[in-house]
Structure 1
Amino acid sequence: MRNAQVNALKNSFCTPNHKINYAIFEEASDLTSQDFINSNLTENNYAVAKSLGILNDLHDYLTIKKTSNDGIRLTLLEKKDQINAKIQLARLDLEAISSELLCESVRSHQILDYLDDYNSKRTNRLLVGSVILGAVSAGVTSFIESDNLNKTISVGAGLIGAGVGIITINPKGKKVEFYHHRNLLKNIWEESNNDKNLSPFIWKLLTDKQMSNAKTNSLAYNIKTRWQHILMDDGEINQADLKLFFGEGGLYTVEDLQQLESMINQLRSTIDELNQDILSLSIIISNHH
């Protein structure tokens, strides 16, 4: 299927147009969650702080804040600025990925709408053709006296009508080209960030079991499990589907695009939740007395 709208949407315009130099949030720290037990920090807050590389600064900040010595106020402000700078960079990082996923979701939905509309119009045309064919067949056979010829035309028209019916009820419909050379879904499915599509910080959060509610599996693992249910067909996952969804793209049906959009939105929702987790940590730090 080729036209201006398809050509405008088939290749991604959501990919960043320059190489991203991700902020590095690394630190050597022996601090555990128990060191923050009196600071109103949850296990989730601790996991976020650890991924941000701010455990040492945060511990110093919370310790200093408990003192009433005015002479260390400058040190307190410096620690807070260092912490907030990393928090701000992390939130910008997450917002950038969320925006990219939103763009991909909108792109897939737009081409899905176009393809669905095309298939609906095509189905209607075939239905009209089938009705007309049936009417013509009935009219012709009523005027033919030869029984054999009558049967031949009736059978022939019936077969053609059946063929039209088969085409009409085909659930797959037409396919459309849709590509995603930078595929963030691939990182989740393959449980790998070797291509560095995601920043080390985001990847830490997605693969840290402490970030999930049950603390038994990582967020990335839970997302992949949900996707397996989406892609399961008669108890199996088609290998061609895996190549399509988690590769660079190809020919998509309406159903394929619906599944793709759902997976993109699930990942984006998780990224947005991580941003809320960082915001929660920031609020706790600001309100700590």
Structure 2
Amino acid sequence: MMTSCSSLRVVRHAPLIVQSTYCAPATSYSYDITYLPLTNIDSLLQRNPQIKNILNDHDIQMANAMGILPFTQQLLSLQKDSSIQRTFQVEHTVTIIQNRLLVASAEIEGIAAELDCEGERADQLANYLDGINRKRNTVLTGASVILGAAVTVAAVAVSNDDTQDAVSLSGGPAAAALGALLLDTSGKEIQMDFSRNILGDIWFQPLHSEIYSPFTWYVLNEKSFSNSHTISLVQSIKKRWIAFELINKVSDKTVALYFKQGGLYNADRLHTRASMLNQVQSTIRSIHQDMQSLIMAVDKFSVKK
């Protein structure tokens, strides 16, 4: 996993400049190639069909995601062993599997923590901008009321009809200008530049991810882990983003803003980014549910001496 930074700069003459790297991991992660998922498990299952006697199809996919499918094969081989070393070998193999389960759980929590951090930061910045915009609108509303009252009083105070009309007309452009400012809902913006965009891989769906671990990325891209079994979890997330977050409006600028190098974010865009981050986080945390069945199967096997 690559470390990187993102920089933030409030624009439109705002007084605050923010730079933050605390959401990115503090160190790079190196994954043991021994436990990489197999790209094709059919040949292994053909050689060892008895694996399906201890694991269902879902557990087999999860075991492959964590790179422990070959170790389940070892457990099956040990069933045929009647030597006194069998108990030790079973315990050793089960320990390896249990350690992999712990590592997989840590990988889930690690990426979920980064997503949570990024989501909280986006919401915090959005709330900051919302506060600035509320104060701005309050000031403009007050100014509009004062201006309207002043024009009315001045017009009443002048007895000449032509002069009254002139006073009223002169107040019109100023009131219109204040009204236009109130209608401008864009408000303040923050410049966010990403050299590591945690949403990018979800959108572009590369074969290998430099942000998500091989285990997590396999689960997100394997269709059997989705409820429908027809599209992957990553594809499902992207479809929801397009429909509900981007309202089916996806331009090059939008893609660059949310999934590439970033750009200018107003409060609404920050809230949208936070929602996207939270959706990915929820999906990744749900992998724990997928692991539960495999953990129970391993526990049952571990007591068979």
State the match for 1:200 in structure 2. Answer: 214
Which SS does the other structure have where 1:176 is aligned? strand
Q: How many Å separate the matches in 2 of 1:125 and 1:66?
A: 81
Find out whether 1:243 has 2:256 as its counterpart. Answer: yes
Q: Is the 8 A contact 1:23 1:89 kept in 2?
A: no
Deviation of residue 63 (structure 1)? Answer: 6.2
Output one character per residue of 1:200-231: Cα deviation in whole Å (capped at 9) or x when no partner.
22211111111111111111111111111134
State the match for 1:26 in structure 2. Answer: 36
State the match for 2:21 in structure 1. Answer: 12
Find out whether 1:287 has 2:300 as its counterpart. Answer: yes
Q: Is the 8 A contact 1:172 1:253 kept in 2?
A: yes
Output one character per residue of 1:122-154: Cα deviation in whole Å (capped at 9) or x when no partner.
111111111001000100111123333322321
Output one character per residue of 1:17-73: Cα deviation in whole Å (capped at 9) or x when no partner.
32221233237653339644332x343222111112211211332564698876511
1:211 aligned residue (220, 225, 233): 225
Q: Is the 8 A contact 2:223 2:230 kept in 1?
A: yes
Find out whether 1:268 has 2:281 as its counterpart. Answer: yes
Q: Which has the higher mean CA deviation after the structures are superposed, 217-226 or 137-146? A: 137-146
Where do 1:182-201 residues align within 5 Å? 182-192=196-206, 196-201=210-215
Q: How many Å separate the matches in 1 of 2:162 and 2:136?
A: 35
State the match for 1:38 in structure 2. Answer: 53
Q: Give TM-score, length-normalised by structure 2.
A: 0.84
Counterpart amino acid of residue 141 in structure 1: A
State the match for 2:240 in structure 1. Answer: 226
Instruction: Kindly tell me the number of residue pairs found equivalent between the two proteins.
Output: 286
Output one character per residue of 1:132-184: Cα deviation in whole Å (capped at 9) or x when no partner.
01000100111123333322321232232222122213232221223332112
State the match for 1:128 in structure 2. Answer: 142
Q: Percent identity?
A: 29
Q: Is the 8 A contact 1:12 1:180 kept in 2?
A: no
1:76 aligned residue (90, 107, 130): 90
Find out whether 1:154 has 2:164 as its counterpart. Answer: no
Provide closer, same or farther for how the CA distance between residues 4 and 103 of structure 1 changes in structure 2, counting only shifts above 3 A: farther
Q: Is the 8 A contact 2:209 2:217 kept in 1?
A: no
Q: Name structure 1 gaps, 5 residues minimum.
A: none
- Tell me the C-alpha RMSD between the 2 structures: 2.7
Q: How many Å separate the matches in 2 of 1:42 and 1:194?
A: 27
Q: Which has the higher mean CA deviation after the structures are superposed, 81-90 or 261-270? A: 81-90
Which SS does the other structure have where 1:198 is aligned? coil
Q: Is the 8 A contact 1:119 1:174 kept in 2?
A: yes
Q: How many Å separate the matches in 2 of 1:116 and 1:48?
A: 43
Deviation of residue 193 (structure 1)? Answer: 5.4
Provide closer, same or farther for how the CA distance between residues 72 and 135 of structure 1 changes in structure 2, counting only shifts above 3 A: same
Q: Is the 8 A contact 1:12 1:179 kept in 2?
A: no
Q: Name structure 2 gaps, 5 residues minimum.
A: 1-9
Q: How many Å separate the matches in 2 of 1:76 and 1:231?
A: 50
Q: Is the 8 A contact 1:115 1:254 kept in 2?
A: yes
Deviation of residue 121 (structure 1)? Answer: 1.0
Q: How many Å separate the matches in 1 of 2:90 and 2:287?
A: 27
Which SS does the other structure have where 2:199 is aligned? helix
State the match for 2:152 in structure 1. Answer: 138
Q: How many Å separate the matches in 2 of 1:153 and 1:112?
A: 41
Q: How many Å separate the matches in 2 of 1:118 and 1:215?
A: 46
Q: Which has the higher mean CA deviation after the structures are superposed, 166-175 or 260-269? A: 166-175
Q: How many Å separate the matches in 2 of 1:164 and 1:194?
A: 52
Find out whether 1:177 has 2:191 as its counterpart. Answer: yes
Q: Is the 8 A contact 1:48 1:205 kept in 2?
A: yes
